[in-house]
A and B are shown apart, each in its own frame.
Chain A
Amino acid sequence: MTSKNYLLIALAICLIAACSSHKQNRKRAEVDSINTRAYVLRYADIDSVEQLAQKAFTLSPAYPDGRNEARCNLAFARYQQMDFDGVDSILQRVRDDSSTPLLLLCADVLEMKTSQRTGNGEQFFRAKSQAEGRIEEIAKKESALTPHEVALWVYAQSEYHIITSTYYFYQEQNDEAREELDEVLPCLRLHVDTAQWVNYNYMLGPGGLVEGRDSDDITLQEFDYLFRAYNTSRRNGFRYFEANSLQALATMYLHNESLIREYRSDEYHLLRFQHEVSEDDSLSLPMVFAQHALQLFKDYDDLFQTACAYRTLGEVHFEQGNYDAALKSYEQALHCVNVHHLRYYGSISRDTLSAFDPNDVGRSIEKEWTEDSRISTVPDWISGIRQQLSLVYSAMDMKQASDYNRNCYLDLLLATNQDLELESRTAELERQTRALRFRMVICAVLLILTLPLAFLLFRRQKRSLEISDTGKKESLFVRWLNGQWSVFANQQEELREQLTVSERQIIAEKRINVENRSKVSLVHGIVPFLDRIGGEVSRMKRSGTVSDERREYIVELVDQIEQYNAVLTDWIKMEQGQLGLHISTFSLDRLFSIVAEGHYAFDQKGVQLVVNPTTARVKADEGLTMFMINTLCDNARKFTPEGGRVTLSASEGEDYVEVSVEDTGRGLSPEDVDTLTNNKVYDASEIGKGGEGKGFGFGLMNCRGIIEKYKKTSSLFASCAFGVRSVMGKGSTFFFRVPRVGKLLALLMLVSVRSIAADVTQYYDSIYNTNIEGRYQEALQYAQRCVDILNEQHTDVPPILLFDNDPEHREASEILWARDGVDADYELIVGLRNEIALSALALHDLDLYRYNNRACIRLHRFIHQDRELPTYFRRLSQTHHNSNILLLAIVIALCLLLLFSIRLILNVRSRLQRTIELLSDEQAKLQFERNRLHVQNQILDNCLSTIKHESMYYPSRIRFLAERMQDADISQLAELVQYYRHIYTLLCQQADEQVSSPGFKRQNVNVAAVCERAFTRAKRMAYRVEGAEEPKFVNNCQPDTCVKADEMLLDQMLEALFSEMLVEGANITFSVSRDEGFVRFTLRDSATSLDDETTANLFFPESRHIPYLVAKQILREHDTYCNHPGCRLVAQPSERGYEIYFTLLLSKNSN
């Protein structure tokens, strides 16, 4: 072959290649052009978008970018059709198939749109942070983009800002929303994108995002934006925006038609002309706009917006007083929601929404939808309709229907806001942990692969490695590893903080506990006097005559008993309010599952334990609720024979949840039921005895006491109850009721009942109650008082108003307070606004309703919005980025430090895990102890109150009888004394049961440390006491001397003694020394003199020195629980003044 031929062949090949490349380019251009057409039609005709996208997709098997752009267009169509799952799956395919940042950005933006609409904040910010990274990346190469890519880039960037703005707008973060919108116009400079420009104008239209001189100016500006959006979309055939603008105009015209007519006359008449409404036409413009918008949305086939248009139409009808028509429109809107649900989620649930169904009042189907993770719905969409329905029903005087819709509305509001932050962060933490585990697996694999090699290397280099050098490397490595395990470290930190908190709580509970035990001792101190009376009476009975001496002695004893009772009463009064209930809101199901875990005890007895799951959330003291459930279940188990069944369940009433424990035991006699429900004091061991087995313990009495306590705490607990239903031979059902968490009242749950300023809370309670009772006018009066008090508390800020129609005030004052960081109870204000809104709704005062409802929702969103979330996600993505670099570093470092790492990783890991495990256990232990103490304290408190109340009457009665006694009356007195003793013993037993395990912690306590602590505290106390000298401290013990004691109690004892001895002019020397096998702590006051008589009586109730009684109790417990009686607590006069000393057992390890 000649060289000429070669040349020809080469030319031919080039020609074919050029042809095929040209063909390919032509095909690409065709795909691009179809995609562009699809894009342009997005807001005009959604069906065409879908068809074009499909076509582009089929034409681009060899053109990935074209294919994926088509997918994005298709996803947009799906989004408009509200097929959220469809959008997700298409976007996933784009992400799998494409690595082009621009297309991935389009996918992110679409994901942001979907998650914004479905109210998924976490997903939104995840997509947003991804999008941010990509925008940065693309911006660097902006100049290299082709014209087609530029168009896409302009769309994606502007859409990113618009959708972010929309998100903020719905979160009531208007400033942020406005900032995002400001970013849109610069994006549009690169390329003309009319749709996005219209979108921008429309966003500014009805949004309240415009700033102006006054409200008229703002309205007019907004009108201009809307008009621009409307006109442009009409010209360009953007049906979607045309309808949207019209809809917004309809709402605007409802209240501002005359203003627009006056200042925007041309536009006003043009609009009239365009809609063929003449000046003398009776048709109202808002109605025409709304109907036209509805038709446009129907043509465009957008279900979401069709429903919105129906809503707008309903609003127009409503404003015109045409309630039936309004109701029909809203029902149509709900119908759209149902169509959407059945179209995509009909297979999951066939339930649909109805405006009001009297048979289904307790159920909120939309709430069920939002709780079901398989269903994506649009909560804001439905809540808007529900709110309007509640209004229209209220106007039609259908209170029940109105309440139902308002409840649904509030439910959705709570569902979309609550725990948003928590949920997303938990999820993120889980993801992080997974990622960390994944990294660990990689490390482990690498390790295993390179281990033999490293081993050889180590062997060879072992000699040359210096020990010190190795040590240094190890420590550096440990530090590096520690950095890697920051998750563990954070967990540790958190646990440590929790531990400190729990410890403090335990100290507080323990202090109360020891005081309660001292009170029980005081109560026991009465028994010998009672026995003495009994003894005297029986001696008189034996002799048959009344002796004056004995009579006098009885009266003296009665006086003494009364004196003790008085001390107890004062003591209880003194501490009233100190012992608060720990009110919180919690799900009962968690407690139920704890009970279910304990089925072993039931199995062993052959009793079936049935725990019915529940979704009820209650507001109560969790520890006490658990105690009550346990008590009832234990009783049921005890009284149910083998083969029987115990059922634990909860049912929701209007404002309470009833927890009931049903058994198939013998049941109780009507007398027993009567005793349980009506008698405050009864012999618990006799109940349910019915001939066999043991009776009930004090559990039921305690349960009833707890319920009484709730009722006394606040009127919020008025629905609390305790009771029993029983049929002999069939079984019993014990139940108690606690308040159900309802609607926005739930927001008050976090506030401890004690912590709210008493006045405001009381008024708030009154509003709540009067609303429930239907006295709405009265509720508004209370609300005014409540607002007044709040304003009195905050005089330097604009006052909160019940209603404010000043157009200059665009926000309710409390939102300004919240923005300025004023310290106020915002949860309470939210609740208050909700109650006012409810009253207003019932009174048909729509302006008042709208104002308060808006204020309520805005404040609720404001205080619950997570301002940290965006930053958090940015930080997180940075962390991910850093983690990748770190991972690379890990691999390199692993190769270098292979030998040491395997041991160290395992060591560090197990060490950290062990620490965390130990800390968690410690925390669980503290929680358990704290709960036990808390329950014990509450019960003791109840017992003591009962003792106080129930036994008060008897002493005076005995005195009365004794003073007037004749020989024949002795038996009567004897009976009374015997009965009094019986009652008293019963009550004491109930209290004793609680003090049997006081949780005394025997430790070796360093004397010097404990004394220093007490001394520092005493010095501080002395400053506060007028004329008291600064205490002095003399330590005659070795620094390492220890005593056997409970450190917390010892601290409390010293504090009690100092607090009581530090009186005006006191001059206290505190010394500590060894005293044979004991350590003696002496507090000597050389400035106050007390005689023998006073010092001898210092530790008796009649001296009324309550701290000394507590000190005596603490010493008594040290005597008992250190297993070595011999501790002393003595008060005696000294050379100058007096001294109190106590001794504690010296610890064996002391020198």
Chain B
Amino acid sequence: MDKFKVIIVEDVKLELKGTEQIFRTEIPEAEVIGTAQNEGEVWKLFRVAEPDLLLLDLGLGGSTTVGVDICRQVRSRYPQCHVLIFTGEILNERLWVEVLKAGADGIILKTGELLTRDDVMLVMKGRHLVFNEPILEKIVDRFKRSVMAETLKRDAVISYDIDEYDERFLRHLALGYTKEMIAQLRGMPFGTKSLEKRQVELVNRLFPEGERVGVNATRLAVRALQLHILDLDNLEPDDE
């Protein structure tokens, strides 16, 4: 691959040294044209020469999120420049999302393997969403959980024998509709009496014997959420 120019933004000198060493020993194609310790220095460097890659730490000095701002500005002012985040914010997931929204090509956490040649090369090849192991693990974990939730929902629908009206009834109960209001829905061809009967049946199905006494509509709706019959993320009323 052709040579490319890199600016490293890192406020801790010792870390900067390590990062430079990684570039020097493992990514010889990269030419580190400058390093910056604060926001002011970044713009100074950009004025001298525009790099192909900006390796950016999120926290600089006393400000812990200034990197998000720098990323956003680089994206709008130097669209050709790739931005790879290299941060010690290993727990602040919200900040990862913020910086991705600001246009970062990837995030490498300063833990585990740290920065590898592969990660840098992927970014340089134009790949977005480049992450190192710890973030990928988290993403996969979340994905698995969401798939699992889907499966649970499907299982629940089958094992508790939930039909489309049950689901609609429960979903609207969870949204705070009264039985009268639910009876008015287009997809609900029943009157309130039938709905009351349905509610009793649902209580019998969803609660084990001995726990059915005193179950009201709220408890029933919550139970449906607990059993994954309803999905909290898709709790929308019917399109009328």
A contact residues vs B (CB 8 Å cutoff): 524-525, 527-529, 531-532, 534-536, 538-539, 549-550, 553, 556-557, 560, 992, 1096, 1098-1100, 1108, 1111-1112, 1115-1116, 1119-1120, 1125-1132, 1140, 1142
Contacts and interface: CB of A to CB of B under 8 A. Distances in A.
B12 interface: yes
Interface string B1-28: 0000000000110110110010001000
Given A531-B114, A1125-B98, A560 B14 contact: yes
Interface string B100-117: 000000000011111000
B69 interface: yes
7 smallest CB-CB distances across A and B, nearest first, come from: A1129-B62, A1125-B65, A1099-B62, A1128-B63, A528-B110, A535-B114, A528-B88
Contacts of B149: none
A531 B19 CA distance: 12
B65 A1142 contact: no
Given A549-B21, A1098-B61, A1131-B62, A529 B11 contact: no
Contacts of A1111: 62
Interface size class of B (residues with CB under 8 A): 20 to 34
A1130 B88 contact: no
Q: Taking each of A525, A529, A1119, A1125, which has the highest tally of chain B beta carbons within 10 Å of its own beta carbon? A: A1125
Nearest to B67: A1125
Nearest to A604: B211
B85 interface: no
Interface string B75-96: 0000000000000101110110
A550 B111 CA distance: 18
B38 interface: yes
A778 to B, nearest CB: 56
Nearest to B65: A1125
Given A528-B15, A531-B114, A1125-B95, A553 B62 contact: no
B73 interface: no
Given A1099-B62, A1126-B69, 18 more contacts: A527-B111, A528-B15, A529-B14, A529-B15, A535-B18, A539-B25, A550-B21, A557-B18, A1098-B61, A1108-B62, A1112-B62, A1112-B64, A1115-B64, A1125-B65, A1126-B65, A1127-B65, A1129-B62, A1130-B38
B18 A536 contact: yes
10 contacts: A528-B15, A531-B112, A536-B18, A557-B18, A1098-B61, A1108-B62, A1115-B63, A1119-B65, A1127-B65, A1132-B40
Contact of B14 (A535, A556, A1112): A556
B102 to A, nearest CB: 10
B66 interface: yes
A712 B184 CA distance: 70
Contact of A532 (B40, B95, B114): B114
Contacts of A1116: 64
B90 A527 contact: yes
A536 B18 CA distance: 9
A531 B17 contact: no
A1119 B64 contact: yes
A1132 to B, nearest CB: 8
A1116 B88 CA distance: 14
Given A531-B114, A553-B21, A1142 B62 contact: yes
Contacts of B62: 1098-1099, 1108, 1111-1112, 1115, 1128-1131, 1140, 1142
Contacts of A549: 21
Contact of B66 (A524, A556, A1100, A1128): A1128
A1131 B112 CA distance: 32
For chain A, what secondary structure do more than half of its interface residues adopt (helix, strand, loop), or is it mixed?
Answer: helix
A801 to B, nearest CB: 61
Given A528-B110, A531-B114, A1130 B61 contact: yes
A1096 B38 contact: yes
A1111 B65 CA distance: 15
Interface string B25-47: 10000000000011010000000
B68 interface: yes
Contacts of B69: 1126
Contact of A1120 (B25, B92, B110): B92
Nearest to A521: B64
B9 to A, nearest CB: 13
Given A553-B21, A1096-B37, A1127 B63 contact: yes
Contacts of A525: 88
Contact of A1096 (B25, B61, B94, B114): B61
Given A1127-B63, A1129-B63, A531 B14 contact: no
Contacts of B61: 1096, 1098-1099, 1129-1131
A529 to B, nearest CB: 7
Interface string B104-139: 000000111110000000000000000000000000
Given A1128-B62, A1131-B61, A556 B17 contact: yes
Contacts of B68: 1125-1126
B79 to A, nearest CB: 22
Nearest to A1119: B65
Contacts of B18: 532, 535-536, 553, 557
B220 to A, nearest CB: 17
Contacts of B40: 1132
Contacts of A1119: 64-65
Contacts of B91: 992
Contacts of A1130: 38, 61-63
Contacts of B111: 527-528, 531
A1099 B69 CA distance: 20
Contacts of A527: 88, 90, 111
Contacts of B15: 528-529, 532
Q: Taking each of B37, B64, B110, B111, which has the highest tally of chain A beta carbons within 10 Å of its own beta carbon? A: B64
Contacts of A529: 14-15
Given A529-B14, A1098-B62, A1127-B65, A535 B113 contact: yes
Contacts of B90: 527
B11 A1096 contact: yes
A1096 B61 CA distance: 6
B99 to A, nearest CB: 9
Contacts of B110: 528, 531-532
A992 B91 CA distance: 11
A1140 B63 CA distance: 12
Nearest to A556: B14
A1128 B91 CA distance: 20
A1096 B11 CA distance: 8
Contacts of A528: 12, 15, 88, 110-111
Contacts of A1125: 65, 68, 94-95, 98
A534 B114 CA distance: 9
A550 B110 CA distance: 18
Contacts of B63: 1115, 1127-1130
Q: Taking each of A527, A1098, A1099, which has the highest tally of chain B beta carbons within 10 Å of its own beta carbon? A: A1099
Nearest to B11: A1096
A553 B17 contact: yes
Contacts of A992: 91
A628 B16 CA distance: 45
A537 B114 CA distance: 12
A536 B17 CA distance: 12
Nearest to B111: A531
Nearest to A533: B18
A24 B193 CA distance: 88
B68 to A, nearest CB: 6
Contacts of B21: 549-550, 553
A1138 to B, nearest CB: 13
Contacts of A1127: 63, 65
Interface string B190-225: 000000000000000000000000000000000000
A539 B112 CA distance: 12
Contacts of A1131: 61-62
Contacts of A1098: 61-62
A529 B19 CA distance: 12
